[in-house]
Structure 1
Amino acid sequence: MSRNYRRRQFVKMVGAAGAGAALAGTASGAPKVSTETLDEQFDTSGGVQEALVVFDDSESARRLETLDLPETYHVFENLDVAWTHLTADQLRTVAGWDSVRRVRKAEELEWHNDSTSRDSMAVDTVHNDLGYEGEDAHVVIIDSGLNASHPGIGADRVEANYRYVDEPTGPRAPFWVAAGRGDTDTVGHGQHCAGIAAGDGGGATQGSYEGMAPEATITSYAVVQYIYLPYVVAAWDHLLGRIRTEPDFDPDVVTNSYGVSRGARYNPNDPVNVATWKVFQEGVLPVFSYGNDGENGEGTGNRFAKAPHVLGVGAAEKTIDEQNNANNRPIVGFSSRGRSDVDPVHYDRDALISNLRQFFAIQEGRTYTVNERTFTGSVGAGANTDPVVAAPAFETDTGSSYEAFTTASNVDRVDLTLSLDPEGQWVRMRVYEKQGDEWVEVAQMREEVLKQHDTLTVDVEGSTDYTIELEPEDSVTADYTIEYTAYEQADGDLGDARPITLYRPGVSAHGNLVMSTQDKADVLGPLGEAGDAEPFYGRLSGTSMSCPGAAGIAMLVQQAYRDESGEELSPIDLIRVLEHAAADHNPNYNAINTGAGFVDAEAAVTTAEGLATGDLSISDLETGRDALVEPPTKVTPPDEIDLTAAGSRRTDSSVNGDSRTQRVEVTISDFNEQATGAVEVYDEIPSEWELYGEYSQARVVEEKNGRKRLRLFQSEGDDEVVTTDEVEGDKEVTFSYFVGTPENAGESGSYTLGPAEAEVTTWKVPENGDDRKQGSDTAEFGGSDTVIVAPTPA
């Protein structure tokens, strides 16, 4: 689809938390400033240490010049963060400045290290049936880099391939070099993640290994072999600058398969958290792996994935098993867990994001959004609606339409953004306030032709009734949309804006033995399990792999909404769609191991289409705490009912001469009546032996592998079967037949007769409502006899 506008300018905020979204929780008062500001990882008795300092604004960073710094400092261009070296005393000094929000230790972070995978997440259906493959979508990957010339990536889809160069506190400023079609990845981690999110499957020889959004374009930031926190912050800073200054750079998601798994709660002033919040505000969704420390128990989630504006992704198997749902997309043991020992509000993303907005509003001294909603309707002749409240101020014969709203108790201001279809119509918008028994006009907009979008800002009172009038001029007829946003002027203590930590992943996705793009010469190349059969692909495991999978699916969801509406889902609504659509596959799922459930691309894309066409609204979705997984009842495979049988056999003699006759008796005394009501009975003799059919209740029905299979009857020529009534209690049925031993003295030796076998005639199971299934339809019984044939003396 060709467009000439910048998508984020048209981000549709269709679903912020409703009025009165919970601010309550169990968190006690705000912790002491020293704990919040100075990172506990510093050695405050040690020497010079590398630090990232988060300021209120970049100008405040100049205060560092008043210190006798061991080395110079660097302030990032788009983040209010300085990178420097400080002594232990200087760390304490800087942490005490009023303009400093956080002093973070520069540290090394951890990597969170096919067609069945795509099927398990319903991606193939989205590709093949719904027709979305990520066209016009863009993913940013902050990782170890990628080889843009890999056949599964395709250099034409790599819009930028950056490598970080130089130390910012050295003699030159830091910068990013565009490597173009080059290979910026010597590890292989970023290469593998890129293929999962947006690989097209090129170069595969043994299977189909395309990624989630194989038509999407890619930007890669290579933060070198080990993922160092300052390099990560530098990548986010560069990314944010491009978003703000390059109209054609319009990413949908940023995928991040790294982090630190500690029990610490989310700190909004940590450098990476500051960066992800700013990018989130620009209309881009940050996606993080949840961590690989699940074997260590609860509280092991990635600290960056605890932010309520971030989609954290756990790892699950791709196994599809509806019959034994404990084995149906199970969570992998290494996937990090959230916490179960917290108030459930810590699982409510809607409440936490509302608190976080309040937190930043208080910290920055501005307003924050209380709630949003949308009004739709028509104005003009024949479209007149009665006023919501009858009053002399309202006329009913002008073609006007009316909408009503009541402000929440904490609301100070309301924005009303009016759009008309067709555009350019002349419609006047008035707002009336209920004052006692009267309606008083308090605001008016548009005494001239309306532009495409126009906003009326109204100062309002809390807990007060208001009515909007839309009055068309002349013979105007149009459909209208009013986007309503209510704000509160922030004040109070930051401790009031809590809790803000999300102690669960958002969703889980396939993260175990994922096949994706790989260069065998990279560090991780030998670990891929495809071997030489797939020179360009290999399997790796980790939430590192589930993260780009979910990010790729998020691009498909955004593409579906964009293609249907021409607009964008906001990042928070994109998360809401993914969580609403997530599947409850496994009885062992819970909030702390999978959040809302296992990602379902098909359900998410169809939900996005419904939102785009107006068939659904965000309020129709299960969001917040309602989005949490609801584990299904455990289902086990139906019992297999095997035929069983009991009986005995008797042969005249265990030693015999050649050309002698033997009488054989086979007795069946019982069989499993749950399986069948009747059985046929068979026996086996050696091929060298002869059945005397004229004297026997048997006939040969098959001969192979040196054995003759005999069908036994209760009387000569009788095709009857043995029924359950005939073996009830002490009853039994005996068959007899006669055989002759080999005539040739050279065929003397040991021979085996039997075992006898019962075979189902008609299965009883499954019967109506029976959850069992058919197992083996034959059962041996009676054992076997060994007969030695000795040559007859001359």
Structure 2
Amino acid sequence: MRKKVSLLFVGVLLFSMLLSSLGVQNYKTTAATSKTALLDKVLENVLQAVNGPVEVIITFDHDGGVEEAEVNLLKAIGINKAITFQSLPIVGALATKQQVEQLLEMESVVSVYYNQKLQYENEGSTSITGVDRVRTDENLRSKNGGFPISGKGIGVVINDSGVDGTHNDIKLGRNLIQNVFASSNLNALTGILPITYLENVPNTDSDSGHGTHVAGTVGGTGAMSGGKYEGVAPGANLIGYGSGAVVAMLDTIGGFDYALTHQQEYNIRIITNSWGATSDAGTDFDPNDPINIATKKLYDRGIITVFSAGNSGSAEATISGNYKKAPWVVTVAAGSKEGDLADFSSRGVKGKGGSVEVDGATFTWQDSPTITAPGVDIISTRVFSPLSALSTQKDLEFISPAHLPYYTTFSGTSMAAPHVAGIIALLLEVNPQLDSMEVKEILQNTATEMKGYEDWEVGAGYVNAYEAVKLAYSY
């Protein structure tokens, strides 16, 4: 009997060595995974450097929101400051090193991660992407009942700093159908409480203007410019989820949770995210990361996640987050209006990737963007207060004096991602049955080749909305 067991062990070991030599990586998002693998390396380092409690993100092994039994588990080990989510099995908490060690021994816990600080990814048009052709093509208009394709009725969550819904291009109560302010300050809590947020807030972007600019690119109506600075999908239903100018992982997870909880109410099909962590650049895809767990659940529910690639180029291995390599998300590099790749746009790594088993299915991930879209000197909606001098010179160069109070110029992959989110809204208007993988295929199969660049830099190439919409009809 011992001889059989030994032979079996040797066989498994040789098979594992073969997979390793082929560059194949296998991960599982189940509690059966090694407990040490479930502790975030960043959190492990933080716990060695501090004595008191730190902000952690705890993920439990089931679908749906956090259950009462799990809240009781946290209370039993002395955790008394935490936020629970409604549709995701995730908790943000203040925990000590000893409490983290206790969490890792619980069968119901998938992972414990540090609540890392993130950064919005702005670096300092619709004609190049083919969106203008979509609007004016008579054949496409005829297929759409005589109306221009505008992303009509498709819900898009702007998971960002906030949205100024007092701007007529993105007016609360019109195309901005909901505007939410939420901030997860664990230190201000007393007890383990459900996440709270304020809805129907006229302006949630009083600190940076980042999310307002993003929202205008996705679906601004161009009301203050006679349509000149109209967004990609002016018929879309925008939902702002604002966390303020300072953002951490737990804040962004709140946006994913809101999208799941309110999906049916607002027909949410897309969530766009222009933030990341340079500290997570060059890392392998990690299915136990709470952001990956969240976006997988969105994928299962038919919500497409769009990410900016990051602004740490032009070196390789600079995509700002392992979650941007998830097989089910769309990650966007930034290009110029001339069709080149922006120097600042983050790159992946040539030939790097692997296979991953998640929820019983095998996926393939690659260390590269999915697609490239305009991200240099992008004109979009300006937040009214506070007025920023950051883009003053560019604004004077590109925007007429009459429009300066309403629009501003930003560059970054933050500006590229909402272009693609808007284009996806156009695809879903003409074919609402498309899922994330089909949308990725359409974007990639219709992209314009970017000569002189490889896929680990630009993905499939420059996004082509016109060809993508035409192909979406036949899927």
Q: Deviations over 1:116-136 (max 9, x none)?
A: x21110110001213212222
Residue aligned with 1:109, SS:
strand
Q: Deviations over 1:369-425 (max 9, x none)?
A: xxxxxxxxxxxxxxxxxxxxxxxxxxxxxxxxxxxxxxxxxxxxxxxxxxxxxxxxx
Residue aligned with 1:294, SS:
coil
Structure showing the higher helix proportion among its residues: 2
Equivalent residue runs for 1:65-214 within 5 Å: 65-69=75-79, 71-113=80-122, 117-129=125-137, 130=140, 131-155=148-172, 156-164=174-182, 167=185, 170-171=189-190, 173=193, 174-204=195-225, 208-214=228-234
Q: Would you say 1:44 and 2:61 are equivalent positions?
A: no
The one-letter amino acid of 2:419's match is G
Deviates more, 1:297-306 or 1:129-138: 297-306
Out of 329, 336, 342, the residue aligned to residue 332 of structure 1 is: 342
Q: Would you say 1:601 and 2:471 are equivalent positions?
A: no
The one-letter amino acid of 1:336's match is S
The one-letter amino acid of 1:50's match is E
Residue aligned with 2:256, SS:
helix
The aligned counterpart of 1:538 is 408
Shift of 1:607: 0.2
Shift of 1:341: 4.8
Measured in 2, the distance between the counterparts of 1:33 and 1:50 equals 23
Q: For residues 34 and 331 of structure 1, do their structure 2 counterparts lie closer, same or farther at Cα, with a shift above 3 Å needed?
A: farther
Q: For residues 524 and 281 of structure 1, do their structure 2 counterparts lie closer, same or farther at Cα, with a shift above 3 Å needed?
A: farther
The one-letter amino acid of 2:240's match is S
The aligned counterpart of 1:404 is none
Measured in 2, the distance between the counterparts of 1:308 and 1:283 equals 14
Q: Deviations over 1:634-682 (max 9, x none)?
A: xxxxxxxxxxxxxxxxxxxxxxxxxxxxxxxxxxxxxxxxxxxxxxxxx
The one-letter amino acid of 2:72's match is R
The aligned counterpart of 2:6 is none
The aligned counterpart of 1:285 is 304
Shift of 1:35: 5.1
The aligned counterpart of 1:469 is none
Q: For residues 221 and 119 of structure 1, do their structure 2 counterparts lie closer, same or farther at Cα, with a shift above 3 Å needed?
A: same
Q: Are the equivalent residues in 2 in contact too, given 1:185–1:191 (CA < 8 A)?
A: no
Q: For residues 50 and 254 of structure 1, do their structure 2 counterparts lie closer, same or farther at Cα, with a shift above 3 Å needed?
A: same
Shift of 1:61: 5.0
Structure-1-length-normalised TM-score: 0.50
Q: Are the equivalent residues in 2 in contact too, given 1:516–1:539 (CA < 8 A)?
A: yes
Residue aligned with 2:116, SS:
coil
Measured in 2, the distance between the counterparts of 1:68 and 1:252 equals 39
Equivalent residue runs for 1:607-756 within 5 Å: 607-611=471-475
Q: Are the equivalent residues in 1 in contact too, given 2:352–2:366 (CA < 8 A)?
A: no
The aligned counterpart of 2:275 is 258
Measured in 2, the distance between the counterparts of 1:30 and 1:191 equals 38
Equivalent residue runs for 1:374-413 within 5 Å: none
Residue aligned with 1:557, SS:
helix
Residue aligned with 2:73, SS:
helix
The aligned counterpart of 1:552 is 422
Q: Deviations over 1:460-508 (max 9, x none)?
A: xxxxxxxxxxxxxxxxxxxxxxxxxxxxxxxxxxxxx5x7432111100
Measured in 2, the distance between the counterparts of 1:209 and 1:96 equals 54
Q: For residues 217 and 30 of structure 1, do their structure 2 counterparts lie closer, same or farther at Cα, with a shift above 3 Å needed?
A: closer
Which of the pair has more CA radius of gyration?
1
Q: For residues 137 and 74 of structure 1, do their structure 2 counterparts lie closer, same or farther at Cα, with a shift above 3 Å needed?
A: closer
Measured in 1, the distance between the counterparts of 2:274 and 2:217 equals 12
Q: For residues 232 and 341 of structure 1, do their structure 2 counterparts lie closer, same or farther at Cα, with a shift above 3 Å needed?
A: same
Measured in 2, the distance between the counterparts of 1:524 and 1:112 equals 17
Measured in 2, the distance between the counterparts of 1:216 and 1:29 equals 39
- For structure 2, the 5+ residue unaligned runs are 1-18, 141-147
Measured in 1, the distance between the counterparts of 2:184 and 2:421 equals 30
Q: Deviations over 1:736-769 (max 9, x none)?
A: xxxxxxxxxxxxxxxxxxxxxxxxxxxxxxxxxx
Residue aligned with 1:64, SS:
helix
Q: For residues 209 and 525 of structure 1, do their structure 2 counterparts lie closer, same or farther at Cα, with a shift above 3 Å needed?
A: farther
Shift of 1:168: 5.4
Q: Are the equivalent residues in 2 in contact too, given 1:196–1:211 (CA < 8 A)?
A: yes
Q: Are the equivalent residues in 2 in contact too, given 1:189–1:524 (CA < 8 A)?
A: no
The aligned counterpart of 2:359 is 360
Q: Deviations over 1:318-376 (max 9, x none)?
A: 11xxxxxxxxx111111111111536xx4xxxxx5xx44xx212xxxxxx5xxxxxxxx
Q: Would you say 1:239 and 2:259 are equivalent positions?
A: yes
Q: Are the equivalent residues in 1 in contact too, given 2:83–2:184 (CA < 8 A)?
A: no
The aligned counterpart of 1:486 is none
Q: Would you say 1:303 and 2:322 are equivalent positions?
A: yes
The one-letter amino acid of 2:460's match is A
Q: For residues 35 and 289 of structure 1, do their structure 2 counterparts lie closer, same or farther at Cα, with a shift above 3 Å needed?
A: farther
Residue aligned with 1:178, SS:
coil
Q: Are the equivalent residues in 2 in contact too, given 1:260–1:303 (CA < 8 A)?
A: no
Structure-2-length-normalised TM-score: 0.82
Q: Deviations over 1:718-747 (max 9, x none)?
A: xxxxxxxxxxxxxxxxxxxxxxxxxxxxxx
Q: Deviations over 1:260-293 (max 9, x none)?
A: 2322212222221111111111111110101111
Q: Are the equivalent residues in 2 in contact too, given 1:132–1:556 (CA < 8 A)?
A: yes
Q: For residues 282 and 223 of structure 1, do their structure 2 counterparts lie closer, same or farther at Cα, with a shift above 3 Å needed?
A: same
How many matched pairs? Answer: 420
The one-letter amino acid of 1:125's match is R
Q: For residues 28 and 511 of structure 1, do their structure 2 counterparts lie closer, same or farther at Cα, with a shift above 3 Å needed?
A: closer
Out of 430, 442, 447, the residue aligned to residue 582 of structure 1 is: 447
Q: Are the equivalent residues in 2 in contact too, given 1:557–1:604 (CA < 8 A)?
A: yes
Measured in 2, the distance between the counterparts of 1:137 and 1:240 equals 15
Q: Once the two structures are aligned, what percentage of the paired residues are identical?
A: 27
Q: For residues 29 and 222 of structure 1, do their structure 2 counterparts lie closer, same or farther at Cα, with a shift above 3 Å needed?
A: closer
Measured in 1, the distance between the counterparts of 2:25 and 2:162 equals 42
Q: Are the equivalent residues in 1 in contact too, given 2:40–2:112 (CA < 8 A)?
A: yes
The aligned counterpart of 1:400 is none
Q: Are the equivalent residues in 2 in contact too, given 1:36–1:267 (CA < 8 A)?
A: no
Measured in 1, the distance between the counterparts of 2:253 and 2:295 equals 10
